Each structure stands twice: as C-alpha cells, then as structure tokens.
Amino acid sequence: MFVESVLLVCSVSFYYFIIHIIFIVNCCHCTEKPKPTVTIEPARHVFSGETVTLRCDIYDGVTSWQYYWHKEGLNRVFSDQQEHTFSSVTESDAGEYSCEGSDTERSHWSQMSDKVTLTVSGEFDHLFIFTQTHRTLCGAQISKHQTIIQLRLLHIVHSNCRVTV
C-alpha cells in the first residue's frame, strides 16, 4: 500500500510538473511577440513617379503571416500583403508607415513595427522631360541618361540648391 501511494504521488507530481512546463513554454510564447521590421526600397526619400515598395518582415517560427499595413492618419488597414508597391508614388503617399501581423488563425500576433517615414519630393519631375540634351542642377551638368540614383545623390550633395533649366 505504501509503495502504491508513493507511486501515485510521484505520478501526480510528474503530471503537474509536465503541465507546469507546458504552461511556461506557452506563456513565454504568448508574451514574447516578435517585432516586425519595415524596409522601403529604393529609399526613404524618393521622387514623384518612382516605384516604391514597402516590405514587412516578421522573424519568428510562424511561417504563414497575415500582414496589416497602417499609415499615420488613416483609420483603416490599407494593405494586407507582405509587400505593398506604389507603382508611381505621389506626394500624397508620403507619411509614416508601420505594420503588424498575425498567424492565419489570429491566435499569435506580432508587435507593431516602428514607424518609418516615406518622403516624396516632386522637385525632379521636370528633369525627365528633356527638350535639350543637358540640364543643370546646382552647377552640375545632368544628361538625360543619368539614373534617378545619380540625381538623388546630386540632390543630397546639393540639398540647399534649386534646380535650374
């Protein structure tokens, strides 16, 4: 009888030990929400007409995330994809963006990402309508074959200058 009682106590203790471990694992999984990372390609400061892609990455064990994109000032989710592309960005697309995600059953949520700011400038729109071979940007000659990246670098270097024709 004594041995059976000890075995019963040990079995119950082991059972509660396992339940406690499962609780700790599940509890930790619930409280440690992953924080998404937002990237903007090609850059956070772009010019009107460019193609811009926002991407939300959530690094966690969940393989099938549903995404929820937020823009400062909007009271609704504007996209539910991991990537959102503006095919021809405008100045009205400028603003602060963030994302969050959940698993497909909505039982596991991420944190909200940090906000990232997309700045859209219309300063260089007219550089792509050429009536001559060259234009001038702050004393630097620009050909119609230069890329938007080269123009962006010129803008950064000469940020206090205005565009002249």
pTM: 0.60
Query: How do residues 29-48 score in pLDDT, each as one tens digit?
Result: 456 899 999 999 999 999 99
**Residue 48 Cα distances to 53, 72, 121, angstroms:** 14, 20, 6
Query: How do residues 81-139 score in pLDDT, each as one tens digit?
Result: 999 999 999 999 999 999 999 988 888 999 999 999 999 998 654 444 443 444 555 55
State the Cα–Cα distance between residues 9 and 14, nearest whole angstrom.
Answer: 8
